[in-house]
């Protein structure tokens, strides 16, 4: 039983629908970008933690060597070890499920482990609330360089550092140890460093997003092109053309060719509007295309209201005659069902022939996969000299089908260009084969 078909959208319309504009496609693109960005952040966070561990060791060593105050070396060592400990914890978290799921949180943890921990530690131990603007700037620049995405997160980390310092300042109310102009100068440097870092990250991420979408659109366009090519050429032939863009021609010793023609279509065109006529023909041929795909048959082309298909190439199959016979019977049933659903009265005439052919692609423009040989001519004559609503087969096809199908001998008929030929009418499959 041929399944009913929804005629709401044709194959041709579906083929050229611009999927890149579809909302679902756009959502999937955004999700893909987020996933790619998440992996990028994790890799860069691990790299930054490793770099910061090395930087922390060198700075701690320098402060220990340069500190001449009593117990200063011990305090420098404690501060250095504390910061290294927090950075190491961030590195470990980046390698866990938590880090994979919340990379932006790991980003803030790493930033504040360096900028805020030292402020809090020195404030608690020494009532020292001087802003460590050099360390802030180093951290802001490092993160903007290594992780140039999530500009909002960069901004939050910078604001959090400032809020931490202001909170400590309000709690401890320290006296200024340097001229006010120095604080203003350092504050201006820190402010513009933060602004430049955030702005550069914003521009970089915007560029990356555009590049990502451009790559996605290119991939979709390539897939659409591939889909269009495969609607014109068989997969094997398309692959051959990609590897070797030359004339392709192959000989096949035995295939089965089918021609089908809609009876009275020319007369119908005289009293039917062109758009309606083309739409009806398109719907019928779309049904035939679905049957060809169902039976594993290669559609070759349509010529006006004629439909041509073949089984047994470009990939060989031993049951080529059976596949074509099944398709021919299903085509009759599909047209009958179409007539009932669309209140039409189309009739088809089908011809089948078996034998050798030459198949290939020729030309430079509007090329197509085509067949040549006496078998093709015979199949065309089987159709044109056939009977409406019947399937006429040549003797070669009859020999391959007679065991499994009911065939009625039509007898000798005069065939243009061939002389007299014995032909048969394919009526259906035998009961033991159904």
Instruction: Provide DSSP, 340-406.
Output: HHHT---EEEEEEEEEEEEEEE--SSS--EEEESHHHHHHHHHHHTS-TT-EEE-HHHHHHHTTTEE
Return the number of other C-beta atoms located less than 10 Å from residue 277's C-beta. Answer: 16
Tell me if 278 is assigned to some domain: yes
Query: Do both 195 and 273 map to the same domain?
Result: no
Query: Do both 206 and 338 map to the same domain?
Result: no
Partner residues linked to 426 by β-bridges: 391, 407
Tell me if 141 is assigned to some domain: yes
Read off the pLDDT of each residue in 304-318 and give the average, rounded to a whole number. Answer: 88
Read off the pLDDT of each residue in 104-124 and give the average, rounded to a whole number. Answer: 87
Tell me if 57 is assigned to some domain: yes
Tell me if 140 is assigned to some domain: yes
- Which has the closest alpha carbon to 227: 235, 215, 236? 235
Does the pLDDT of residue 231 top 70, yes or no?
Answer: no
Query: Do both 192 and 259 map to the same domain?
Result: no
pLDDT score at 11: 40
pLDDT score at 320: 92
Q: Checking DSSP bridges between strand 391-393 and strand 347-361, what pairing results, if any?
A: parallel
Supply the CATH number for residue 409's domain: 3.30.70.1230
pLDDT score at 255: 92
Q: Across all residues in the chain, what is the average pLDDT?
A: 82
Query: Do both 169 and 260 map to the same domain?
Result: no
Query: Do both 208 and 268 map to the same domain?
Result: no
More confident residue, 12 or 4: 4
Percent of the chain with pLDDT over 90: 24
Query: Do both 122 and 207 map to the same domain?
Result: yes
Last residue of a domain, one of 159, 191, 225: 225
More confident residue, 381 or 68: 381
* Token duo for residue 84: 């290294």
SS3 337: helix
Last residue of a domain, one of 191, 225, 259: 225
**How many domains, the chain?**
2
Does the pLDDT of residue 67 top 50, yes or no?
Answer: yes
Query: Do both 100 and 215 map to the same domain?
Result: yes
Query: Do both 406 and 288 map to the same domain?
Result: yes
Does the pLDDT of residue 433 top 80, yes or no?
Answer: no
Query: Do both 31 and 125 map to the same domain?
Result: yes
Tell me if 2 is assigned to some domain: no
Read off the pLDDT of each residue in 349-365 and give the average, rounded to a whole number. Answer: 85
pLDDT score at 356: 92
Query: Do both 270 and 220 map to the same domain?
Result: no
Tell me if 7 is assigned to some domain: no
- pLDDT band at residue 25 using 50, 70 and 90 as cut-offs: very low
Last residue of a domain, one of 192, 225, 258: 225
Read off the pLDDT of each residue in 318-345 and give the average, rounded to a whole number. Answer: 90
More confident residue, 405 or 270: 405
Read off the pLDDT of each residue in 62-91 and give the average, rounded to a whole number. Answer: 80
Does the pLDDT of residue 367 top 80, yes or no?
Answer: no
Report how far residue 208's alpha carbon sits from residue 34's, in angstroms, rounded to the nearest whole number: 12
Tell me if 170 is assigned to some domain: yes
Query: Do both 286 and 429 map to the same domain?
Result: yes
Query: Do both 246 and 185 map to the same domain?
Result: no
Does the pLDDT of residue 122 top 50, yes or no?
Answer: yes
Q: Domain limits at 203?
A: 15-225
Does the pLDDT of residue 251 top 90, yes or no?
Answer: no
Cβ-proximal residues to 45 (8 Å cutoff; 6+ apart), any chain: 90, 94, 99, 103, 106, 107, 110, 147
- pLDDT band at residue 61 using 50, 70 and 90 as cut-offs: confident
- pLDDT band at residue 17 using 50, 70 and 90 as cut-offs: very low
pLDDT score at 155: 92
The tens digit of pLDDT for each residue in 172-224 reads 887 767 777 888 888 898 899 999 999 999 999 888 888 888 888 888 777 77
The tens digit of pLDDT for each residue in 375-404 reads 999 999 999 888 998 999 999 999 999 898
pLDDT score at 262: 87
pLDDT score at 240: 67
Read off the pLDDT of each residue in 110-116 and give the average, rounded to a whole number. Answer: 88
- pLDDT band at residue 70 using 50, 70 and 90 as cut-offs: low
Alpha-carbon torsion (392, 305, 417, 413), positive or negative: positive
Tell me if 1 is assigned to some domain: no
**Alpha helices for 231-273 (secondary structure H):** 235-243, 265-269
- pLDDT band at residue 10 using 50, 70 and 90 as cut-offs: very low
């Amino acid at each position: 039983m041929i399944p009913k078909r929804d005629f709401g959208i044709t194959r041709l319309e579906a083929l050229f629908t611009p999927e890149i504009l579809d909302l679902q496609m756009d959502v999937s693109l955004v999700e893909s970008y987020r996933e790619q960005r998440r992996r990028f952040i994790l890799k860069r966070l691990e790299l930054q933690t490793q770099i910061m561990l090395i930087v922390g060791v060198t700075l701690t060593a320098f402060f220990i060597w340069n500190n001449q105050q009593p117990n200063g070396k011990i305090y420098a060592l404690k501060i250095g070890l504390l910061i290294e400990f927090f950075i190491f914890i961030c590195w470990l978290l980046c390698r866990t499920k938590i880090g994979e799921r919340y990379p932006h949180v790991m980003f803030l943890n790493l930033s504040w482990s360096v900028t805020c921990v030292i402020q809090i530690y020195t404030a608690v131990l020494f009532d020292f609330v001087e802003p460590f603007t050099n360390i802030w700037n180093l951290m802001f620049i490092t993160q903007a360089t290594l992780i140039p995405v999530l500009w909002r997160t960069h901004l939050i980390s910078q604001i959090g550092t400032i809020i931490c310092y202001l909170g400590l300042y309000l709690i401890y109310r320290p006296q200024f140890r340097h001229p006010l102009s120095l604080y203003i100068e350092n504050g201006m440097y820190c402010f513009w460093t933060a602004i430049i870092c955030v702005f550069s990250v914003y521009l970089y991420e915007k560029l990356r997003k555009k590049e990502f979408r451009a790559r996605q659109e290119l991939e979709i366009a390539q897939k659409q092109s591939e889909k269009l090519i495969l609607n014109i050429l068989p997969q094997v032939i398309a692959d051959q053309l990609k590897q070797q863009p030359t004339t392709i021609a192959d000989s096949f010793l035995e295939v089965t060719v089918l021609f089908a023609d809609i009876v009275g279509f020319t007369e119908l065109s005289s009293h039917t509007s062109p758009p309606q006529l083309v739409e009806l023909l398109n719907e019928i041929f779309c049904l035939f295309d679905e049957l060809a795909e169902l039976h594993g048959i290669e559609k070759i082309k349509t010529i006006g209201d004629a439909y041509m298909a073949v089984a047994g190439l470009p990939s060989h199959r031993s049951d080529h005659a059976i596949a074509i016979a099944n398709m021919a019977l299903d085509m009759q049933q599909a047209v009958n069902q179409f007539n009932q659903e669309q209140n039409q009265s189309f009739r088809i005439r089908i011809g089948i022939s078996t034998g050798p052919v030459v198949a290939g692609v020729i030309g430079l423009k509007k090329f197509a996969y085509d067949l040549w040989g006496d078998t093709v001519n015979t199949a065309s004559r089987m159709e044109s000299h056939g009977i409406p609503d019947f399937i006429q087969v040549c003797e070669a096809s009859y020999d391959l089908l007679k065991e499994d199908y009911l065939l009625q001998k039509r007898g000798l008929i005069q065939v243009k260009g061939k002389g007299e030929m014995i032909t048969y009418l394919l009526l259906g499959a035998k009961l033991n084969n159904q």
